[in-house]
A and B are shown apart, each in its own frame.
Chain A
Amino acid sequence: MSRKIERLINLTIALLATQRYLTKSEIFRTVDGYEGSAEAKERMFERDKDDLRTLGITIDVGSFDPIFNDEAGYRIRSENYQLDLGQITPTEISLLSLAADAWQGAAFADAAQSAILKLSSIGVPADPIDIPGLSPKLSNSSADLEIVTAAIASSDFLIFDYLATNLELQERTIIPFSLSNRTGFWYVSGVDQEIQEVRTFRLDRVQGEIKLNKNKDPFEFPASFELSEADTAVIHRSAVIDVRKGKGYALRRLAISVKDLGEWDQIKVPIHSLETLGAEILWHGDDVFVHEPSDLREYIVKQLHALVSNHE
């Protein structure tokens, strides 16, 4: 096992040090550790290349002479091998450590720590940040972040069953391009392949496993995408509702405008979904009254009828 590790290190050093592409035969001749039949060496080299790539090392394949179709050669470019974050300050090192610690016990804890290990080699000491108690943590509500980020990285398809508001399981296929965490929940946004529109999904509402399918076609990033608006569809409508003074704080937070009516305030809130806003309004009981639109009013009245007949 030690021999294999030595060989991998020696191969990395040789491919990094070279100013030109090294052919396989040069590698077998000069790099320590390639032994056995030609076939065995070949197999060894193929595995070694895969192993280095697994470690995140990029190996360039090219030829000495672009004019003549020469034997392929290999090299590792130092700009690809080395970390380049420019000049790093002690404060920045501290911020990055806090960023890594935020993953404690969560999906990318290992990746975050191995990044910090590499950063520690820069040799810049951390300058502790003078804010007591600053150690926010990322919630670990989803173990699927790895597959999601892998799909984002190569614009692959994600296929999963999603629990709709009516509890229907819908199979969705998306090309994801965004991952975010708001109010403690993970969201992934992507282009829904059935409707070719951007949709956002809360990862803990995915039922069962997320599958990844390779996408060979180029993917164009939706340039106009704004995360804050992408929760569901684009908002076309708003509701006009009265909220009693000193009440309805959760609704007031959503307001796009407020008008003082004395005992009440009249506010305008965007409608993302009739059911969600309806539930929020009903939660507030007689502290809230809906004026517009009529379908929201009708929805509320229908629910109230059911509440009366269910509880009389």
Chain B
Amino acid sequence: MSKSISAPLARTARLLDLVPYINTHQGIALKELAKHFEVTPAQMNADLTTLWMCGLPGYTHLELMNLDFESGFVSIGNASTLSKPRAITFQECVALLLGLDLIASSLPSDRQDLLTAAQSLRQRLTNILGLPMKLSVEANTSGAVGAAIAHAIETSSGLNIRYHALYKDQVTERTVVPVNLYEADNHQYMHAFCSTARDYREFRVDRIDQATPADVSAEFPAKSDSTEKISFSIKIMGSSRDVMERFAIAHSAIGSSMEMSSYSRQWIERSVMASGAAVLLSAPQEIRAEIAKKAQLMLNRYKEA
């Protein structure tokens, strides 16, 4: 339920939802019921006491719900009007539809059974929504890759991956031992020991095309700090949203200079190239020279053609 709902209303909703739940879980322990509804047993006791007073007009034992919870176990009778689960709200339906789409797009393609079930649920939820709105989510990673990584982490085992290294623009096959998964800047990353590089590396999960179990002796050398960050500075020559997003900077006043650092020389070079006239790399000198050389080489080619 949305946070904007007041405490008495949230409690009303809980009481309404309690009836159908007890109805299908007759004899449930009060403690367990409290846990399911995320309240204390004392609160649950108070809720049940309130509910016990409710019923159809008339309010004799014939019309009141027949609620029994003194023994510590809860059962209900005579609850027919409220005995079915409540309809889900618009927002709840949207949340489930978007979530389902994510799950469906994460499922391995050979699980047709689950894909069909997800599709059928989506159809039914869309009918409940009753609106011609479009909701969709595309998973960042293929389900097979995500599942393989999770399994490897759990069992401290190795993986053969095919990885597109964007900065080097190379697709390589590597053997890795994944350590953990984490999210940063809206992307999922895998922290892993790369047997090929003999060091820890970060991999963007959506750039892993394939992941299959690999036989490795899982020995983890102490984290080496052999990779050093390269400091560089840029000067903004032209404002653009792309430049701000590429260098992850909050402001881009023309003429302003910024100090930054990166692990990848290639990333620095390519990012400046991609920014064209909008960014000037002031340091380091070697990368400046490399950019000037490469740009001139490309220009020559365009002149020849």
Contacts and interface: CB of A to CB of B under 8 A. Distances in A.
Interface of A: 1-2, 4-6, 8-10, 12-14, 16-17, 30-32, 51, 54-57, 78, 80-86, 89, 91-92, 95-96, 98-103, 108, 110-112, 114-115, 117-123, 129, 131-139, 141, 146, 149-150, 152-153, 163-167, 177-185, 189, 205, 221, 225, 227, 246-250, 275-276, 278-280, 282-287, 289, 291, 297, 300-308, 310-312
B173 interface: no
A194 B299 CA distance: 41
Given A183-B138, A246-B170, A285-B298, 4 more contacts: A32-B57, A153-B90, A181-B136, A289-B302
B20 A121 contact: yes
Given A85-B124, A136-B146, A115 B93 contact: yes
B149 to A, nearest CB: 7
A183 B59 CA distance: 56
Contact of A83 (B13, B88, B143, B239): B88
Interface string B1-43: 1110100110111011100110111000000000011000000
Contacts of B25: 123
Contacts of A153: 90, 131, 133
Given A133-B151, A139-B183, A302-B277, A82 B135 contact: no
Interface in B213-266: 237, 239-242, 244, 252
Given A80-B87, A133-B146, A13 B82 contact: yes
A51 B6 CA distance: 10
B199 interface: no
B169 A136 contact: no
B292 A9 contact: no
Contacts of A250: 164, 166, 169
B50 A2 contact: yes
A83 B8 contact: no
A54 B169 contact: no
Contacts of A55: 5, 9, 12-13, 16
Contacts of A291: 305
Interface string B151-183: 101100000000010100111000000000001
B143 A181 contact: no
B90 A56 contact: yes
B86 A82 contact: yes
B94 interface: yes
B187 interface: yes
A53 to B, nearest CB: 11
B226 to A, nearest CB: 27
Interface in B268-305: 269-277, 280-281, 288-289, 291-292, 294-299, 301-302, 305
Nearest to B99: A99
Contacts of B206: 183
Interface string B58-79: 1100000000000000000000
Contact of B240 (A135, A275, A286, A304): A275
A129 B96 contact: no
Given A14-B57, A100-B96, A92 B121 contact: yes
Given A95-B117, A304-B302, A17 B85 contact: no
Contact of A4 (B8, B128, B186, B188): B8
- Point out which of A17, A80, A284 has the most chain B C-beta atoms below 10 A from its C-beta: A17
A81 B87 contact: yes
A96 B87 contact: no
B48 interface: no
B139 A9 contact: no
Contacts of B44: none
- Point out which of B103, B131, B296 has the most chain A C-beta atoms below 10 A from its C-beta: B103
Interface in B98-153: 98-100, 102-103, 106-108, 111, 113-114, 117-118, 120-121, 124-125, 128, 131-141, 143, 146-151, 153
A149 B100 CA distance: 17
Given A177-B133, A300-B302, A95 B8 contact: no
Given A81-B86, A96-B96, A108-B95, A249 B169 contact: yes
A131 B147 CA distance: 7
A284 to B, nearest CB: 6
B57 A31 contact: yes
Interface pairs A-B: 10 shortest CB-CB: A133-B150, A123-B24, A99-B99, A303-B276, A184-B186, A306-B277, A30-B57, A115-B92, A108-B95, A56-B89
B84 interface: yes
A95 B3 CA distance: 25
Nearest to B292: A311
A37 B206 CA distance: 66
Given A10-B55, A56-B86, A102-B102, A138 B137 contact: yes
B99 A100 contact: yes
B96 A297 contact: no
A227 to B, nearest CB: 6
A114 B5 CA distance: 13
Contact of B81 (A5, A16, A111, A286): A16
A197 B128 CA distance: 28
B3 A181 contact: no
A110 B1 contact: yes
A99 B137 CA distance: 11
A83 B16 CA distance: 13
- Point out which of B85, B107, B187 has the most chain A C-beta atoms below 10 A from its C-beta: B85
Contacts of A286: 294, 297-298, 301
Contacts of A307: 272-273, 276-277, 291-292, 295
A17 B131 CA distance: 28
5 contacts: A108-B91, A136-B143, A177-B134, A178-B135, A307-B291
